[in-house]
Amino acid sequence: MLEAMQPRLYGFILKRLADRDQTLEVLQKTNLVIWQKAADYRPGTSFTAWTFTIARFQLMAWRKTLSRNRLVFSDTVYEQIDSDFRPSEDEDDSRVDALKDCVKQLSVDENKLLEQRYREDRPLATIAFTMNMNLDAIGMRLSRIRKKLRDCIQQKLQK
């Protein structure tokens, strides 16, 4: 269950830190706390909410550590950023249209990988096993595909 949460936790943390190295560090600390507090989790409650709460506390601790070293935004500012960003329906529709066009431009193998990961919600380890590749290679491949899609979307939206 925790393995399946990794991409979402990574995205949650990355959105708030905007630095991949720091994100990986906070994610690692978050996973450590989750394992340490596993006995505290109450079955029947939302595992997702529980893990995101731990991640939120780890982010606050990380920011507190960073604030001693340099200028960083407060938790209030980050909450404001989260609540203020709401794309308009037109923006949302044009982004979805651009995404659909960009996905059509991907190779068959890239589409197959995206399908397995996001539509079928398969864990990376399962995909790596079925494709006879190591986990890091699958992660890097997905990362490159996402970057390719992001660049394509940005290019289409600028037109």
Q: How far apart are CA 105 and CA 111, in angstroms?
A: 9
Q: Looking at this protein, which amino acid is placed at residue 12?
A: F
Fold designation for 89-158: Arc Repressor Mutant, subunit A (1.10.10)
Domains of the chain by residue range = 2-84, 89-158
Tokens of 61: 């601790």
pLDDT digits (tens, 9 = 90+) for 96-143: 888 889 999 999 999 998 888 878 888 888 888 888 988 888 888 988
Per CATH, the number for 2-84 is 1.10.1740.10
Amino acid at 29: K
Statement: residue 61 has pLDDT above 80: yes
* pLDDT, greater one: 86 or 95: 95
Does the pLDDT at position 69 exceed 80? no
Same topology between domain 2-84 and domain 89-158 = no
Instruction: From 107, 88, 119, select the one nearest 148 (Cα to Cα).
Output: 107
Closest residue by Cα to residue 51 from 15, 16, 7, 20: 7
Three-state DSSP string of the chain:
CHHHHHHHHHHHHHHHHCCHHHHHHHHHHHHHHHHHCHHHCCCCCCHHHHHHHHHHHHHHHHHHHHHCCCCCCCHHHHHHHHHHCCCCHHHHHHHHHHHHHHHHCCCHHHHHHHHHHHHCCCCHHHHHHHCCCCHHHHHHHHHHHHHHHHHHHHHHHHC
Which region among 50-64, 68-82, 88-102, 121-135 has the lowest average model confidence (pLDDT)? 68-82
Taking residues 138-151, what's their average pLDDT?
A: 90
